[in-house]
Amino acid sequence: MNNLAAMLVIRERLREHLLPQHAPRRRQGEYSGGCLCDGCGERITSAQASYNVDFEPGVTPQSLRLHRECLEIWLYECQSPRFPQLT
């Protein structure tokens, strides 16, 4: 998936409240494939950097798994005027 397509999917998931708009409590990068990216929905391969993102209790979902690029897009979109600031 290209970055534009990923951005559009992430925007829609933010609008539908499927992705949180809260600041992460913890981020941890790794190379371990097999999971689906919570941002774009594509499979994360073992050759791709991914991030586990955890949130404070009470945030739903409690954690995300994202491609590195999708993490950057998600952080950027959460700070755009379309959505509330990261809290």
Q: Where in the sequence is the domain holding 22, given as residue range(s)?
A: 3-78
84 has pLDDT over 70? no
Neighbours of 31 (CB within 10 A): 11
85 has pLDDT over 80? no
Please check whether residue 54 lies inside any domain of the structure: yes
Please check whether residue 87 lies inside any domain of the structure: no
Cα–Cα distance, 69 to 51 (Å, whole number): 10
Please check whether residue 85 lies inside any domain of the structure: no
What confidence tier does 19 reach under pLDDT thresholds 50, 70, 90? Answer: very high
CA angle (2 as vertex; 68, 71 as ends), nearest 5: 20
Please check whether residue 36 lies inside any domain of the structure: yes
Please check whether residue 86 lies inside any domain of the structure: no
Q: Are strands 26-30 and 63-67 parallel, antiparallel or unpaired?
A: unpaired
pLDDT attached to residue 86: 54
Give the C-alpha distances (Å, rounded to integers) separating 25 from 33, 41, 48, 74, 86.
23, 22, 23, 15, 12
Please check whether residue 18 lies inside any domain of the structure: yes
Mean pLDDT of 12-32: 91
Cα–Cα nearest to 37, from 76, 1, 82, 77:
1
Phi, psi angles (nearest 5°) of residue 50 = -135, 165
Per-residue pLDDT of 39-82, as tens digits, reads 999 999 999 999 999 999 998 889 999 999 999 999 999 887 77
Please check whether residue 19 lies inside any domain of the structure: yes
87 has pLDDT over 60? no
10 has pLDDT over 80? yes
